[in-house]
Amino acid sequence: MTAIIKREISSFFSTPIAYLVIGLFLVLNGLFLWVFNGDFNILESGFADLHPFFQLAPWILIFLTPAVTMKSFSEEKKTGTLELLLTRPITKTQIVLGKFFGTFILMLLALIPTLLYVFTLWQLANPVGNIDLGSIIGSYFGLLFLTSAYTAIGIFTSSLTDNQIIAFIGAVFICFIAYYGFSGIESATFLEVFSLKYHFESISRGVIDVRDIIFFLSVSTFFLILTIFKLK
C-alpha cells in the first residue's frame, strides 16, 4: 500500500495538477479573505477571526478535491493499467486505501500553508494573540475530516467510469449533497444532522464531539467500501 501512496503522490507532482490545485486553493482563499470586498473579507470585518475562511474552504474543496480524485481509477481504466494493477500481489482494499491516502496527503499539503492566516491574525489582533485558538483548531480538524469524506467520494465516483469529466461532475454533485444535505429545506431541517455541514460546524465551535468524528469516518468508510466492492 505504501508503494501505491508514493506512486500517487509522485504522479501528482510529475504533472501540473498538484501545483494547480494547491495554487488555486490558496489564491482563491487569499483573494476572498484579504482582497475582494464582501462578507468574507477579514480586514473589513474588524474582527481577528478566521470564521470566513472556514465558511469558504468547504465550498472550494467541493470542486478542488474531485479535480484531484477524478483520475484515480478513471485514468487507470482508460489506459488499461487497472488490470495490471489488480494482478499485483496486493489486495483491492490496499489499492483503494493507497489511492485514498495519496490524494488525502496532497489535499493536506494544500491546507498547511493556510496556517499563515493564523499567524497573520495573531499579529493583527489587539492585543497581539487575542484570537480564539480553540475554535480555529477545531475548525482545522473539521476541515481534515471533511476533506477525508470528499476524497472518499471522489475515489468512488472515479471507480465508476473511465471518463474523468463524468467522475468529476459526479463527485461534485455527491459532495454537494453530502455537505449541504437538506439544510436549505425548511420542512426537512430535522434531516440536517445527516449532512457534513452540520457536523463540520459542530466541530468548528471548538468542541470535538466523538459523534461528529464517527459521522465523518462513517461517510469516508462507506464510500471506500463501495469502491472496494466496485473493483471486485
Q: What's the pTM value of the predicted model, to 2 decimals?
A: 0.90
pLDDT at 162: 87
Amino acid at 158: S
Q: Supply the DSSP string of 143-163, one letter for each residue.
A: HHHHHHHHHHHHHHHHTT-S-
Kindly report the number of other CB atoms within 10 A of residue 55's CB atom: 15
Domain boundaries, the chain: 2-231
Distances (CA, A) of 16 to 116, 142, 154, 166: 24, 28, 19, 21
Which grid cell is 176? 454537494
CA angle 150, 155, 156 (to 5 degrees): 100
Q: How far apart are CA 44 and CA 35, in angstroms?
A: 10
Instruction: Cell 481504466: give the residue.
Output: 77
pLDDT at 205: 81
Task: List the chain residues with pLDDT less than 70.
Answer: 46, 48, 182-191
* pLDDT tens digits for range 193-213: 788 988 898 888 877 788 889
pLDDT at 119: 86
Which grid cell is 210? 466523538
